[in-house]
A and B are shown apart, each in its own frame.
Chain A
Amino acid sequence: MENILRINLSAEGGPKTSLEPIGKYAGLGGRGLTSCIVADEVDPLCAPLGAANKLVFAPGLLSATPATTSSRLSVGCKSPLTGGIKESNAGGQPATVLAKLNYAAIILEGRTPGTDLWKIIIGADGVSFEKCNELRGLGNYDTVAKLVEQHGEENAFMTIGQAGEMKLGAASIACTDRELRPTRHLGRGGVGAVMGSKNIKAFVLKEKDARYAKAKDPVKFKAASLAFAEGLKRHAVTGQGLPAYGTNVLTNVLNEAGAYPTNNFHTGQFAGASKISGETLAALETERGGEATHGCQKGCVIQCSGIFHDKDGKYLTKQPEYETVWAHGGNCGIDDLDAIALLDRMDDDFGLDTIETGVTIGVAMEAGLIKFGDAQGAIRLVKEIGAGTPLGKILGSGAGVTGKVFGVERVPVVKNQALPAYDPRGVQGIGVTYATTTQGADHTAGYAIATNILKVGGFVDPLGTAGQVELSRNLQIATAAVDSTGLCLFIAFPILDQPDTFQSLLDLLNSFYGLNLTGDDVTALGKKVLKAERDFNTRAGFGPAQDRLPEFFQKEKLAPHNVTFNVTNEDLDTVFNF
């Protein structure tokens, strides 16, 4: 991955491309690369939906290799949702194809004049641009089906649905999976709206004649690959729990721990949790002829996903993730897996972040638009988003906007981005991450659940304040580094517990790129990425006031443990002291 492809959409006579060597960004991939480029090139005060914003895609450092679980794709920009820097990442096939085409990054800049929609076709034989107004108004499923008709199956696709075309704050960019379904989403922060603002409907990424580069030391790389995959299979989380039950195994965990946000964060336990749990979901998938164990990308040994069939045994959607089941389920008082799976399908089709959308529906329920537990009402509201009605556009703009429009006090957002599936009062460490990450509320930015709840990487009492700032800080640094490798974040479970698997990860990077990285270098990389992101946000006008949870988390006690969020503002302000 030696090249950066720059696409200037504003160029006279149509979009123009230029190829640049990776240069000063050598050694960076994924989030590290998108965040450093955005921090260097995007004016932090620009209008996020204007021509001055840029959309940067980058596969991870290891996406260019056949190493397992390494096809995560990062996208970066100034977020129209948060107003700060954004990195969102997804699985599926696009990262592998881009990396095999030798692109370390694609920088999309400017905006095509006029109202035509465009697709960008990238392959070993070059880059081309075609108008695609016939795709206007189509959801991701129909869009990809048409693109497959036009371009064949030997491709990966990145597309936006109706939400991206409407430039809504909850709009995602869909990445196709192994079956060419648009099920893996660059979800958070409204990245789909930025793509829509540039009049780009789709990327066609041609795998034909795209080849992995050679490792500098192929013998050592092969040995490291085998050892790394063995380490993932050996650990109970990546070897057993995630394959068998998927991420939704967490529903019962968080519910039992009393930290499962229920009915828009009113209480910490949901009476219907077992009906929507990972155990129940996996059994239902198997019973209906779907699959409880399925990979989102080729070569992944974890296989945390699955295939969900409807009551008639027909494909409806991929296995909804824990955050989706929570956002559309317990957070809205809904305990019907068929309704939740349909909402997942609709989110994927319209191109919506499932967390932002589910939390928005919860806020709408708080406002009294529909009642908690009203599954059909929730489906109707999400349909309004896809249809682009005035109410739908409000809801598609996210939880913060919806709360303002309907006069709701309890709006669970940080930096205007919706909180995910863990109540920060029941898991104080994740509250520190929500408050302070550069991304807006984001559990993946420093997954304190591992150590607060799951006893991975040690144990820090979830209800106490001691050790939470240090825990979140260390996890945020480590995550920024992992997000640069292209490896799925789930590899963190084995590398936190198994030193030899962490060494295998270093061996992968070192043998492929001819480096001598140590653990300290990984930490330094994470710090560099966070500092670049934090500096962008400071220049965008963010300060300590943006590093706070909504007031009600400090005032309202969460049942059953009757606890508020107790980490002090002074302590929150020390997270970035490194």
Chain B
Amino acid sequence: MHLTVKLFATYREGRFEIADLEHPDGSTVGSLLDALAIPRAELGFVLVQGRHVELDTPLAANTTVSIFPKVGGG
């Protein structure tokens, strides 16, 4: 399936800012992290279409996935 993937902050180092990717149908958020070599334990949070999802949330085709390390400010 087709996904638009956005990476932020330290996750861009050695990867990309935004990319259109093909990913196996029926896979989960966690499997996408694995494919991007982002350790699950270091994850901050993931948004799909601007909504928070969990590692075991199934991905839907033609969505935007935004992946953040642990960040904060304010």
**Interface on A for B, CB 8 Å cutoff?**
235-238, 240-242, 244-250, 252-253, 256-258, 274, 278-279, 304, 321-323, 443-444, 447, 449-450, 453-456, 459, 461-463, 489-490, 493, 560-561
Contacts and interface: CB of A to CB of B under 8 A. Distances in A.
Contacts of B73: 241-242, 246-250, 278, 304, 321-322, 490
A235 B71 CA distance: 10
Chain B CB within 10 A, most for which of A447, A455, A490: A455
B26 interface: no
A279 B8 contact: yes
A245 B70 contact: no
Contact of B74 (A258, A443, A462): A443
Given A236-B42, A241-B10, A249 B70 contact: no
Contacts of A249: 8-9, 71-73
B68 A253 contact: yes
A236 B69 contact: yes
A454 B70 contact: yes
Interface string B1-33: 000001011101000010000000000000000
A134 B13 CA distance: 52
B50 A241 contact: no
Contacts of B50: 256-258, 560-561
B52 interface: yes
B74 A279 contact: no
A253 B73 CA distance: 10
A459 B47 CA distance: 13
Nearest to A268: B50
Contact of B72 (A257, A456, A560): A456
Nearest to B45: A455
B74 A447 contact: yes
B61 to A, nearest CB: 19
B8 to A, nearest CB: 5
A237 B70 contact: yes
B58 interface: no
A561 B48 CA distance: 12
The residue among B45, B69, B72 with the most chain A CB atoms within 10 A of its own CB is B72
A294 to B, nearest CB: 15
Given A279-B9, A455-B45, A493 B72 contact: yes
Nearest to A494: B72
Given A245-B9, A258-B50, A253 B74 contact: no
B66 A241 contact: no
A84 to B, nearest CB: 22
A443 B74 CA distance: 8
Contact of A237 (B6, B42, B71): B71
A279 B72 contact: no
A505 to B, nearest CB: 17
Contact of B52 (A242, A250, A455): A455
B47 A490 contact: no
A245 B52 contact: no
A19 to B, nearest CB: 37
A296 to B, nearest CB: 14
Given A241-B9, A253-B8, A256-B50, A489 B72 contact: no
A459 B70 contact: no
A244 B72 CA distance: 12
A250 B8 contact: no
A434 to B, nearest CB: 13
B6 A253 contact: no
Interface string B46-66: 010111100000000000001
A239 to B, nearest CB: 9
Contacts of B49: 560
B72 A450 contact: yes
A489 B6 contact: no
Contacts of A253: 8, 68, 71
B66 A236 contact: no
Given A256-B66, A322-B74, A454 B8 contact: no
A489 B52 CA distance: 25
Contact of B71 (A250, A447, A463, A561): A250
Contacts of B71: 236-237, 241-242, 245, 249-250, 253, 454
Contacts of A235: 70
Listed from nearest, the 3 A-B pairs whose CB atoms lie closest are: A247-B73, A236-B70, A241-B71
B7 to A, nearest CB: 10
A198 B12 CA distance: 51
Nearest to A420: B74
B52 A240 contact: no
29 contacts: A236-B44, A236-B70, A236-B71, A237-B71, A237-B72, A240-B69, A241-B69, A241-B70, A241-B71, A241-B73, A242-B72, A245-B9, A245-B71, A246-B73, A249-B72, A256-B66, A278-B9, A278-B73, A279-B8, A279-B12, A443-B74, A449-B72, A449-B74, A450-B72, A454-B45, A455-B44, A455-B52, A456-B70, A560-B50
A278 B68 CA distance: 13
